[in-house]
């Protein structure tokens, strides 16, 4: 679009302001992590690495990290299995109720997280009589992680035709062999990307976790949340936060690399999942209307 010089300058200023708005908080937390003061005081009187040492040595933080990795790994595994199964059915076959299924997959992330949290908490404690534990956290996480795996895999399936599978079957392979030697290799990178994003999503989750976690157990985000109210531990929080940001770059970068042969950018975390929500709803509604 052809714009006058003045319009371009105004537009650039807007972009600059928006980027400043986006990055200032992240810079603030970075500086806070090195703040030598025990309380939040700006500007920091001096800078120190002390809190990073404390963070690494903190027993409770390490335990919380292990809990988070456990929860993330199990939730990821469940999501990979269930998500792949659904995408194989939805992406390769036409059947009645297909759009309802894709809608159902998206629902846990389309509804506000607090709804999922309260719903699970109610069901577990009031109806099933299960006490809350790490297992209930994993059930909650796996439910909204399915969509991430599903989105990645189904996109890959839709882009490739089923003719390779047909060829494999024609050449005498049984369904398992076809899956093992034809379908799976073509899905591998999409599966990897989906799995990493599912893990990252679970690792960062706190909304649903807060409702489904047992007393005395802490994932890393819950640990951070609790320590905000413990003056003694508070100064470590920004240091842990910075470590967390740095750590979270790894899976997202890897996922991006893995899915880059899809010829597009895969937005991280919830964005990918959420961005597809209205599309799936529309799809479901369109079929309902016909």
Restricting to residues 49-108, which ones interact with other proteins according to CB under 8 A? 78, 81-83, 85-86, 88-89, 93, 95, 101, 104-105, 107-108
Q: From CA 191, how far away is CA 156, in angstroms rounded?
A: 9
Residue (149 or 190) nearer to other proteins, CB: 149
Q: Which two tokens stand for residue 141?
A: 């996480």
CB of 15 to other proteins, least distance (A): 5
Q: Does 9 bind other proteins (CB under 8 A)?
A: no
Q: Does 215 bind other proteins (CB under 8 A)?
A: no
Task: List CB contacts of 186: < 8 A, sequence separation 6 or more.
Answer: 156, 160, 164
Residue (56 or 249) nearer to other proteins, CB: 249
Residue (231 or 278) nearer to other proteins, CB: 278
Q: Residue 237 in contact with residue 250, Cβ under 8 Å?
A: no
Among 59, 171, 176, 216, binds other proteins (CB under 8 A): 176
Q: Using CB under 8 A, which residues numbered 120 to 159 contact other proteins?
A: 120-123, 125-127, 139, 142-143, 146
Q: From CA 116, how far away is CA 109, in angstroms rounded?
A: 9
Q: Does 167 bind other proteins (CB under 8 A)?
A: no
How many residues bind other proteins, per CB under 8 A?
A: 99
Q: Using CB under 8 A, which residues numbered 223 to 242 contact other proteins?
A: 224-225, 228, 237-238, 241
Among 63, 204, 217, 262, binds other proteins (CB under 8 A): 204
Helix axes 134-159, 59-92, angle to 10 degrees: 40
Q: Does 42 bind other proteins (CB under 8 A)?
A: yes
Among 67, 187, 194, 221, binds other proteins (CB under 8 A): 221
Q: Which stretch binds other proteins (CB under 8 A): 57-65, 160-168, 181-189, 273-281?
A: 273-281
Q: Does 192 bind other proteins (CB under 8 A)?
A: no
Q: Does 275 bind other proteins (CB under 8 A)?
A: yes
Torsion, Cα 207 211 212 213, to 10 degrees, reads 90
């Amino acid at each position: 679009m052809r714009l006058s010089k003045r319009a371009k300058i105004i537009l650039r200023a807007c972009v600059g302001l928006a980027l400043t708005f986006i990055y200032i908080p992240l810079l603030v937390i970075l500086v806070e992590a090195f703040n030598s003061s025990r309380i939040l005081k700006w500007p920091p009187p001096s800078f120190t690495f002390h809190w990073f040492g404390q963070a690494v040595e903190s027993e409770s933080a390490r335990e919380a990290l292990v809990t988070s990795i456990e929860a993330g790994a199990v939730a990821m595994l469940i999501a990979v299995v269930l998500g792949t199964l659904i995408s194989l059915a939805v992406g390769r076959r036409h059947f009645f109720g297909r759009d309802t299924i894709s809608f159902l997959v998206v629902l846990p992330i389309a509804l506000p997280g607090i709804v999922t949290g309260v719903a699970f908490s109610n069901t577990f404690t009031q109806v099933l009589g299960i006490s809350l534990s790490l297992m209930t956290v994993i059930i909650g996480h796996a439910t909204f992680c399915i969509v991430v795996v599903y989105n990645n895999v189904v996109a890959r399936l839709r882009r490739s035709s089923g003719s390779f599978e047909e060829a494999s079957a024609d050449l005498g392979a049984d369904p398992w062999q076809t899956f093992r030697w034809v379908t799976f290799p073509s899905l591998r990178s999409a599966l990897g990307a989906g799995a990493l994003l599912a893990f990252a999503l679970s690792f960062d989750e706190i909304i649903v976790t807060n409702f489904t976690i047992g007393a005395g157990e802490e994932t890393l985000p819950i640990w951070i949340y609790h320590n905000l109210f413990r003056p003694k531990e508070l100064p470590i929080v920004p240091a842990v936060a910075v470590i967390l940001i740095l750590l979270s770059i790894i899976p997202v970068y890897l996922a991006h690399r893995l899915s880059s042969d899809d010829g597009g950018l895969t937005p991280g975390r919830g964005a990918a999942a959420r961005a597809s929500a209205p599309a799936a709803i529309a799809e479901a509604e369109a079929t309902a209307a016909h």
